[in-house]
Amino acid sequence: MPDRDDGFRTIRGYELIEKSLHLTASMEDYLEMIFRLCRHKGYTRISDVAAALHVQPPSASNMIHKLTETGYVEYEKYGVVLLSQKGAEMGKYLLERHHIIEDFLNIIGVNQNVLIETEKIEHNLSPGTVLCIDLLVEWLKNTPAWSQYLENCGQKTKQE
């Protein structure tokens, strides 16, 4: 009989297994922001990305070069940053994932540092898990008893 713990690894171990499919958390943050910025004009600039992420332009430039090498963005020195089709698809998914996790945290009653908590969680979930959370969020939104339950929990907490 195999040991139940044979498959257990550290989070880094799982990351190494999925390395070929995995962008780093930082790459995901940049790609998500580039997608957000490109929605308005169809392109963005390194200075806009740097300002939006509160990083220095050379840092943004380095990451955009990495994303160019991986085929997610198209960029020429001193030019505009454009998303490739692959980058647009991934950027859209990353933004949707962000909103799903943020909605989940809001609906379960997290009311402090939701953005920070979302950032901590979103990079560590598989697409299948995100889909399950999305389904749960939609169900909870449409379940009046859930809102009543949260209200009752809040009242008990306030009374204690």
pLDDT of residue 5: 54
Residues 99-112 pLDDT 10s: 999 999 999 888 88
pLDDT of residue 2: 47
DSSP letters for 105-160:
HHHTT--SSHHHHHHHHHTT--HHHHHHHHHHHHHHHT-HHHHHHHHHHHHHHHH-
Residues 34-48 pLDDT 10s: 999 999 889 999 999
**Domains of the chain and CATH, by start:** 11-88 (1.10.10.10), 92-159 (1.10.60.10)
Segments of the chain scoring below 70 in pLDDT: 1-22, 154-160
Cα angle 91, 12, 110 (rounded to 5 degrees) comes to: 60
